[in-house]
């Protein structure tokens, strides 16, 4: 089993090659390739590479598949004793990435 833990958008994400993941919006066109340099942990067949804080020699290559919107959430605010209510919705912009592989 091959996997890596990377830092993207201030979050730590467990990724595997050949799978796709939805992250916060990344500027770029569908079909573009991006690279992640902040690899915290990489596990290959019999070896584990731990970063302090990052593994410098490893780069993750990913392809932008499409841009989409996340699930709609409702934001409801009230002020007590003022009869004031606000109801808004929000949908986060996301980018779907396909992990192509790990480069050394």
pLDDT at 21: 96
Per residue in 37-51, pLDDT (tens digit) is 999 999 988 899 998
- Which sign does the torsion angle of CA 60, 66, 71, 74 carry? positive
Q: What is the pLDDT of residues 15-24, one digit of tens each?
A: 999 999 999 9
pLDDT band at 1 (very low <50, low <70, confident <90, very high): confident
Domain ranges of the chain: 3-103
Q: Would the pLDDT of 9 be above 90?
A: no
Lateral strand order in the sheet of 3-8: 11-15, 3-8, 39-43, 48-50
CA atoms within 13 A on the CB side of 6: 23
């Amino acid at each position: 089993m091959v996997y890596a833990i990377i830092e993207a958008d201030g979050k730590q994400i467990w990724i595997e090659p050949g799978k796709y993941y939805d992250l916060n919006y990344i500027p770029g066109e569908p079909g573009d390739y991006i690279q992640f340099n902040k690899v915290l942990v990489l596990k290959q067949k019999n070896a584990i590479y731990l970063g302090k804080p990052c593994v410098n020699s490893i780069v993750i290559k990913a392809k932008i598949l499409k841009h989409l919107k996340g699930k709609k959430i409702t934001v409801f605010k009230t002020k007590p004793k003022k009869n004031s209510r606000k109801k808004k919705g929000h949908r986060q912009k996301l980018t779907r990435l396909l992990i192509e592989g790990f480069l050394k």
